[in-house]
Amino acid sequence: MCKEEVLLLFKQIRDSLCTIVTRSIPVNTADDFTHSPDGMMRLDSICMLLVTIGEAVKNIDKYTHKSLFSKYPAISWRNVMGLRDIIAHQYFNVDAEIILRIVKVNVPQLQNEIDRIIIDLEKDALEENADK
């Protein structure tokens, strides 16, 4: 995995976060997820995106030898990766209330930090190209 691929993964994470926000607009309570087929589809799709985000974060962490995320301590990256494991391996125990809180509180914070990382990585790439 090269630096360009890491940047691409961050952009895919950003897109997934935007999709989560869009899909969760009509959701105001955990019941909005659990009391209708449409709500369950929203919950399922949001959980799948959270799994893919967690997996991407794990891959980035592995590629960067655990050095990148320490520069961005505003996010508990371990929790992002751990959420992936919980959803993937214990899906029937997923609590809609917790997912709602993650979507409404943590996702916007993660979006801001991902945007910051993308800006920093693009700036670093420009500086590297200027040095060549």
**Is residue 33 within 8 Å of 91, Cβ to Cβ?**
no
Residue 18 banded pLDDT, cuts 50, 70, 90: very high
Taking residues 18-46, what's their average pLDDT?
98
- Contact between 77 and 20 under an 8 Å Cβ cutoff? The reply is no
pLDDT of amino acid 130: 79
Helices within 24-106 (DSSP H only): 30-34, 37-63, 77-89, 96-101
User: Around Cβ 31, how many Cβ atoms within 10 Å?
Assistant: 13
Q: Active-site residues: which are they? A: 84, 89
85: pLDDT confidence band, cut at 50, 70 and 90?
A: very high
Q: Does the structure show a pLDDT above 90 at 126?
A: no
Contact status, residue 33 vs residue 24, Cβ threshold 8 Å:
no
- Kindly tell me if the per-residue pLDDT of 32 is higher than 80: yes
Instruction: Give the span between the Cα atoms of 9 and 30, in whole angstroms.
Output: 30
Which residue, 118, 92, 84, 108, is CA-closest to 24? 108
How confident is the model at residue 1, as a pLDDT?
64
Gap between the terminal Cα atoms of the chain: 21
Segment 34-65, tens digit of pLDDT: 999 999 999 999 999 999 999 999 999 999 99
